[in-house]
Structure 1
Amino acid sequence: MGQAPRSGPVGVILSVAPDRFAQVVEAARRTGLTVTGEQPVLGSLSGTIAEDRIPALEAVDGVESVDREQIVRLPPPDSPIQ
């Protein structure tokens, strides 16, 4: 049959080696990461990537961890449950 469809992009937050931040960002981009935020002082990077590319992202030298973004929805301030 045909190829399996590629998974859609997911939001990720990376913890990276601060002393090699720029090199890690470039290597992460080469794996398919679309960078949406950089915090070099904190050693943190955020972006989106196809779910099936996360293992390649985790294997980038200098990437300490990769966490999927989690969306938290809070009820409106005037709702009875807070």
Structure 2
Amino acid sequence: MPITFTIDSEQSKRLAFDLWCREKGIKKKDLADQLDVSPQRFSQILNGDYVSGAVFDQLQEIQIDGHRIPRELIPVPSSPKKLGRKTKEA
């Protein structure tokens, strides 16, 4: 029986994605392989750490055993986080 709930945050989106994978018997490692990224990088993508438009498009096209990732579970494209020292404003 399918699980239904409201996705209201990135954390609940990640949980929904994990449940969807489990329900379909899909391993995240297999999804990472299809994206040609390491499982660690795939986890970062799912956590919302810089998702480029290209990765977003690839995630929409992936199919495993005839299942396509529901669009509402895919992390939205985001800007890269700025690294380095914070500057003080005058």
Category of TM-score, reference length = shorter chain = 0.3 to 0.5
Determine which structure has more spread, i.e. the larger CA radius of gyration: 1
TM-score (norm 2): 0.35
* Greater helix fraction, Structure 1 or Structure 2: 2
Relative contact order higher in (CA < 8 Å, ≥ 6 apart)? 1
